Amino acid sequence: MRNYEQIYIDGAWVASDGEGAIDVVNAGTEKVMGSIPNGSASDVARAVAAAKAAFESWSQTPVEERQKYLVRLNEALQARSAEIAEVIAGEVGMPITWSTMIQAGLPAGNMQTFATLLDTFEFEEEIGNSLVVKEPVGVVGAITPWNYPLHQIICKVGGALAAGCTIVLKPSEVAPLNAFILAEIMHEVGLPAGVFNLVSGTGPEVGAAISSHPDIDMVSFTGSTRAGKAVAASAAETVKRVALELGGKSANIVLDDADFAAVIPKGLFACYLNSGQTCTAHTRMLVPNSRYDEAVEIAVAAAEATQVGDPTEEGMHLGPLISQAQWDRVQDYIQKGIDEGAVVVAGGLGKPEGHETGYFVKPTVFANVTNDMTIAQEEIFGPVLSIIGYEDEDDAIRIANDSLYGLSGGVWSGDQDRAMAVARRMRTGAVDVNGGSFNIAAPFGGYKQSGYGRENGPYGIEEFLQTKSMQR
């Protein structure tokens, strides 16, 4: 059990003003694995005051000094990698093999990337008679989700620290234990008091206090589109900078010249990773009508071969969803798909046989899906793939872009140039072309209602800077 009874403000562990605690439930066992303080708006006020007081000194700290802290943070994250992977496997349900590579590996990698970028990042330039400088935006409120919890925290915290900002972090109350490990690491490496502050609690209480606080200069939020709209509306009252990374309903276009036997299973994996609890999940597979039945057959075989199992066991299987609420949500979407006329060709309602304990879902494939169905338009956040037919390339692009969202997507073709041409026409922030791998130094963010702003790499530092020109 990991029971944290204090929050982290101004370089010290302190009691929360809030009442009670929030239990953290293990996704695989449905048992409580820890607890955190149920923080309050007054906790946020204390954290913001500390961050504001620390900003002047931290923002003027030489880049080389900030870089040294980032290097030490990377080393400390690596040293506790096994512990982080184990904790997140419990919190989120991602099996330990994947959790080690992704949930623990990506945060450390991102922190090192930010540190390395400071070797060459240009904070000022000459334009005519002007010196143009990029300065830290100020106090940053970071509100993060539960699906890749520490990765999303480091995307914000690492970039903000590199830029010279101070931070008030509210992690998801569903998967917060990893954030407390990070706070322990921040303390261990000696980050100056007030530069990083952690206030745990709920969105309506702590999150709302962050987005509305007049001394927070910027809010960086990752989560649902519904919550993102509320954050943006609240932040508008004080005209603070906002970055939003929201939902997705990504299309994976399989062109007629692709090797279906090879790429359809890969497309299924791009939907199912983290049991589908991924904002970039390729949940709409678009295939030519002329090869539709073939695509469905291959997808069904791949889905039926997909194993689910205990997150504590090594292997490439799928774990459970994070909570009973999320399990209920996914079941509701599967039922909606059936009710609207889509056909379950793999998986479906209920839990997989032998997995009655834990929030497990059957790896599911829907055929006969049209793009106007609920399961094709709304984010499900579970291992549910919709296969949609198209007539020709233009029709595929039309269907792919017929979405409120625009976060990610994919294209598969036997011709790389053709695939790139299609990728250019997709209205989305990222496209994986013929299985191109995730790049932690490339910008990440969305179009349309998937949000605005970019994380990762130099763009992830740029997001926390503002520009001043001085004429001479």
CA-to-CA dists, residue 291 to 87, 250, 260, 414, angstroms: 44, 21, 9, 15
The conformational region for residue 87 under phi > 0 = left, psi -120 to 50 = alpha, else beta, is alpha
Distance CA 431, CA 417 (A): 14
Question: Quick one: tokens of 23?
Answer: 């239990």
Within 160-250, strands assigned E span 166-170, 196-198, 218-222, 241-245
Contacts of 88 (CB under 8 A, 6+ apart): 94, 99, 103, 104, 149, 150, 175, 178
Active site residue 165: no
Active site residue 314: no
Degrees, nearest 5: CA angle 8-9-11: 90
Helix, strand, coil % (nearest 5) of the chain? 40, 20, 35
Question: Quick one: tokens of 451?
Answer: 């949000």
Quickly list H helices, 354-434.
Answer: 374-377, 393-401, 416-425
197 burial (CB, 10 Å; 0-12 / 13-18 / 19+) is buried
Integer Rg of the chain from CA: 22
Name the DSSP letter for residue 311.
T
Question: Which one of the listed residues 173, 245, 379, 455 is annotated catalytic?
Answer: 245
Question: Which one of the listed residues 165, 279, 379, 463 is annotated catalytic?
Answer: 279
The one-letter amino acid at 422: V
Degrees, nearest 5: CA angle 139-145-148: 115
- Three-state secondary structure call for residue 448: strand
Quickly list H helices, 259-411.
Answer: 260-272, 292-305, 324-339, 374-377, 393-401
End-to-end CA distance of the chain: 61
Query: What are the catalytic residues?
Result: 245, 279
